[in-house]
Amino acid sequence: MEKDGDGGIRQCCKVIALIIFSTLSILPLHFFLLTTYNHVATPKVKRSALLPLRFRHDGTFKILQVADMHYGMGKISRCRDVLPSEFDRCSDINTTSFLRNMIHTEMPDLIVFTGDNIKGTADAAESLFSAFAPVIESRIPWAAILGNHDQESTMNREELMSLISLMDYSISQVNPYSEVPRKLVEIDGFGNYNIKIHGSFGSDMVNTSMLNLYLLDSGDRETVDGRQTYGWIKKSQLLWLSETSKQLQGTYVSPALAFFHIPIQEVRGLWYKEITGQFQEAVACSSVNTGVLDSLVAMGDVKAVFMGHDHLNDFCGDIDGIWFCYGGGVGYHAYGRAGWSRRVRVISAELGQKSQKRVKKIRTWKRLDDDFFTKIDEQVLWED
């Protein structure tokens, strides 16, 4: 080829370009990186949310929690546990409509997906794009973590979190970075990160985080002493969590909320306590207890934890001064209870009316996928 001069080099470039292009097109990421218009591939840049997130000028910030979509392959993934009369016309598309309706009804400032976003698919990337489509259309910032099912098809947990972090308007992160030097913190799992919510533009708190969110990877399944059990939050994650919380706490301790998929053992004890919502199935958690509750209590800033995993539980209960709330199941391709509506949880933080210098109140409620998108179980979780 050397002998051919320019022609040879051109030929060589063509071959390299062809190799690059065909490699890209077999990667699951290819349709994300390249959008084809009239057969010409043009690079697509991620559409990013404006960071940091901020309270609205009216002093509110609203989060929509979406638990357990179990999104499969769209129309061909049939619904589970719906009434016999509903079965014929029910698929993943119903999950999509429900999510779209909830976004329009609540107009949240952030949407948090608490895991088991996809399940029972032949192509993880395609399912993620379909599952998150209503959110991306809405241009509302969103964050996701993984459950125990997400990695069951064509992508592992690290790949899933990196694709999720690259999707439009996603503010999800694979794992935390240290400040200086900027490098990945050694931590178990994929999808451990912190989101700060600052005061609105023009307020005194424009540079201050007034509400902190901690998202954690509670893993999938593990074998302990020869027995299968669910994953759990590891010591390395708790260490990162308490260090992050310490760094965030200045003269004033901003309240924080935590999100993870698999509940902790102590949630079982709420069976005997007063709760808001329904406790309809056993708490499915790990046999290992690393002291998540003690860590959260010691940190002092976390006021409430939001979990998924057990679709028939949608309650909030107080354990040692911290609320533990289930999202209740969203997905129609997921198990549920026929006649018991799929549901979402909404969390709303409000600043004090006059000064807007701190969070005054955190409230939560749920909305059902019935004819009226009925709002239920509204309660105050925390008041300053």
Ligand X SMILES: *[C@@H]1O[C@H](CO)[C@@H](O)[C@H](O)[C@H]1NC(C)=O
x-or-dash pattern for ligand X, window 139-158, by CB under 6 A?
Answer: --------------------
Give the shortest CB-291-to-ligand X separation in angstroms: 37
The residue from 4, 58, 186, 204 that contacts ligand X (CB under 6 A) is: 204
Give the shortest CB-182-to-ligand X separation in angstroms: 20
For 258, counting Cβ atoms within 10 Å of its Cβ (0-12 exposed, 13-18 middle, 19+ buried), the class is buried
Give the shortest CB-87-to-ligand X separation in angstroms: 8
Residue found under tokens 């993880």:
124
Between 306 and 332, CB nearer to ligand X: 332
Give the shortest CB-77-to-ligand X separation in angstroms: 12
**DSSP state, 47?**
P
Give the shortest CB-256-to-ligand X separation in angstroms: 21
Between 95 and 192, CB nearer to ligand X: 95
Between 204 and 383, CB nearer to ligand X: 204
Cβ proximity of 171 and 136 under 8 Å: no
- CA nearest 239: which of 183, 179, 299, 180? 299
Between 86 and 222, CB nearer to ligand X: 86
Binding to ligand X, residues 66-105 (CB under 6 A): 82, 86, 89-90, 94
Between 31 and 340, CB nearer to ligand X: 340
Assess 206 for contact with ligand X (CB under 6 A).
yes
Residue found under tokens 């997400």:
150
Q: Which residues, other chains included, contact 289 with Cβ-Cβ below 8 Å and sequence gap of 6+?
A: 232, 264, 265
Give the shortest CB-89-to-ligand X separation in angstroms: 4
Assess 370 for contact with ligand X (CB under 6 A).
no
Beta strands in 155-308 (DSSP E): 193-198, 209-215, 221-224, 227-230, 256-259, 302-307
Q: How far is residue 99's CA from residue 117's CA, in Å, rounded to a whole number?
A: 12
The residue from 85, 207, 223, 228 that contacts ligand X (CB under 6 A) is: 207
Q: How far is residue 347's CA from residue 359's CA, in Å, rounded to a whole number?
A: 13
Identify residue 354 by its one-letter amino acid code.
Answer: K
What are the C-alpha distances in Å from 353 to residues 88, 189, 358, 364?
50, 40, 10, 19
Between 33 and 376, CB nearer to ligand X: 376
Give the shortest CB-356-to-ligand X separation in angstroms: 12
Cβ proximity of 314 and 328 under 8 Å: yes
CB atoms under 10 Å from CB of 48, counted, come to 11
Identify which range of 23-31, 199-207, 241-249, 323-331 contacts ligand X by CB under 6 A.
199-207
Assess 200 for contact with ligand X (CB under 6 A).
no
Q: Which stretches of the chain bind ligand X, using CB under 6 A?
A: 82, 86, 89-90, 94, 204, 206-207
